[in-house]
Amino acid sequence: MAAGYLLDAVFGDPRRGHPVALFGRAAGALERRMWAGSRTRGVVFAAACVGAATGLGAVAQAATRRRPRARFALTALATWAVLGGRGLAEEGEAMARLLEDDDLPAARRRLSHLCGRDATNLGTKELARAATESIAENTSDAVVAPLCWGAVAGLPGLLGYRALNTLDAMVGHRSPRYERFGWAAARADDVANLVPARVGALAATACAPLVGGSPKRAWRVWRRDAHRHPSPNAGQVEAAFAGALDIRLGGVNTYGSRTEDRGTLGDGPAPGPADLRRSVRLSRAVGAAALAAAVAR
């Protein structure tokens, strides 16, 4: 797993044939055949997709039980495939550069690489907030959680978690099409992230001094404000990041025709481009801390 983490840190995501993208295309093809406004159909769809990925990991793990070099190589490659730490950091830094250059049209387009928020009318502060929140949430989803599940369940944990998280991104959001069909993927992803999100928040609290913050303040904001967020998991790590960076996150967000008030997280000012860069540094520190915990286990 440490070797896979280093591969992601050095090389980032594969430019072609990314396994997660291939899984997404396969899941999309199955969705087109199975979709219906039914929770039962959604449960079967999620179970088939996640079960296939988990089963593949279980077969690979069993096949390499007495072959430590093959197990090492497969685990390293699987970890590299499911992590997204470098890509996340690069997107955050690219957004910070655009905001520093006051190139709002390009920054609004770039935001879609991080989240699905409607950026049409967002200014510098709101774009910086959206990007910082996405950095915090995806640090948990794309780095901490895969490492946690890999530490607990090996190859099946790595592949199964990434499959589930990908399904949540595909069908787990609230919309007329996916409100019922995507229910199972969304709820299962919530359960899978209950512990990793809190591990990520704890790591952000401990790493606060690395970005000029206070662990005491980060702890206070995390424990006080996490429940204000509608997500049982995203609120944990976003509140911890807000406290560690001494900024204010949360507020009203627009997703197409839907508006959502996520509450206020933190006591500081709204984030700017410099704070977005600090959030990238904090994200990297949290990922390293999560790796250390996973390896130590």
**How many C-beta atoms surround the C-beta of residue 212 within 10 A?**
11
**Ordered alpha helix ranges (H), the chain:** 2-11, 19-34, 39-63, 68-82, 85-100, 104-110, 124-139, 145-171, 183-192, 194-206, 215-225, 234-245, 273-296
Rounded to an integer, what distance in angstroms lies between the CA atom of residue 250 and that of residue 11?
32
Asked if pLDDT for residue 242 goes beyond 80, the answer is: yes
**How many C-beta atoms surround the C-beta of residue 196 within 10 A?**
24
Q: 27: pLDDT confidence band, cut at 50, 70 and 90?
A: very high
How big is the chain by its Cα radius of gyration, in Å?
Answer: 19
Contact between 251 and 264 (Cβ < 8 Å): yes
Determine the average pLDDT of the residues in 239-267. 86
Q: In terms of pTM, does the model score above 0.85?
A: yes
- Residues 264/269/275/280 CA torsion (nearest 10 deg): -20
The values of phi and psi at residue 253, to 5°, are: -120, 145
Asked if pLDDT for residue 173 goes beyond 90, the answer is: no
